[in-house]
Amino acid sequence: MQLAKHIAQGKLTYLSQDTNAVSVSENAYYRWLAFACDNGEPVIQSIMLKRKPYKLTLPHQTALMLPLLFIKPKSVVELGLGGGNIQRFITNLSTSITMHSIEYNSTVIDCFNEYFNPQNNQTHIIYNDSKQWLQDNKIDYDWYICDIYQQDIESYSNTVSQLEHLTAHVKPNTCLSINLPDANDSEVNLLLTILQQVSPHHEIVYFHIPNYLNIIVHLIPKQWQTYKKLKRNNHSYLPKNIFSRWKCFWQHGKNVPF
């Protein structure tokens, strides 16, 4: 059954009573987190498969995880927890990875703990604004994952400001992966140009997700030499079958020329 049909059959499990308008709904197979947009309609942020909570359920999440083809990260920071799809996937992938999630919305954290951590995995969730946390943090991490969610963007200029702030904290040997939820072609081109100017030590690869509004952008350290690592599976925690499939996905990415 298609996800859209599952969503149509869902029953409301939780609805926040504050201005955040966070809701949790589910059916027999899936549970999902949603936010209310300006017109009051819920926008689904993430979906969990109840039988296998660690599985990725939306195509943009797979695109966001593609740097795992090239690196066995020891430390990962996720800026924006949401329903915890990335948190659960990476936690399940390897116990050698230290995963931190930075989330400024306490209601989202409460929902994750109550509804989206059914296996009671040990988590490192920090209640803070991502900009403030980046400014205060003095530790280098292997990989930053940023979900710029639609509700968090008051204007396009704020998106630019957030990206500039992010890249200012990314070292030449650090990977940065960004989920842009809804940007038109001219906005995407401008954002890529900005990233190109402020990240000379990185290769920039981006993906348009078919049938979705998401644009996934990766800043890959040039020293990784991705073309060599794709030839073998000795730089990845991914199982061989997933590595082979995701290797094909990577070929659909578009490089930003320098």
Question: In this predicted model, what pLDDT tens digit does every residue of 11-58 receive, in sequence order?
Answer: 999 999 776 689 999 999 999 999 877 666 778 889 999 999 999 999
Instruction: In whole angstroms, give the CA distance from residue 182 to residue 149.
Output: 9
Asked if residue 70 and residue 39 are part of one domain, the reply reads: no
Q: Report helix, strand and coil shares of the chain as percent, to nearest 5.
A: 35, 25, 40
What does pLDDT average to over the chain?
A: 87
CATH number for the domain that contains residue 233:
3.40.50.150
pLDDT (average), residues 160-187: 83
| Structural domains in the chain (count) | 2
- Report the candidate in 64, 62, 60 with the shortest Cα–Cα distance to residue 211: 60
Instruction: In whole angstroms, give the CA distance from residue 23 to residue 212.
Output: 22
Asked if residue 27 and residue 125 are part of one domain, the reply reads: no
pLDDT in tens, 245-256: 999 999 999 888
Q: In this structure, is residue 242 part of a structural domain?
A: yes
Residue 88 pLDDT more than 60? yes
Between the CA of residue 256 and those of 188, 192, 207, 210, 217, what are the distances in Å? 11, 7, 11, 19, 10
Report residue 258's pLDDT band, with 50, 70 and 90 as the boundaries.
Answer: low
DSSP 29: S
- Report the candidate in 28, 147, 159 with the shortest Cα–Cα distance to residue 87: 147
**pTM of the predicted model, to two decimals?**
0.91
**126 is in which domain, residue-wise?**
59-255
Asked if residue 42 and residue 76 are part of one domain, the reply reads: no
Instruction: Write down the pLDDT at residue 227.
Output: 80
Asked if residue 88 and residue 23 are part of one domain, the reply reads: no
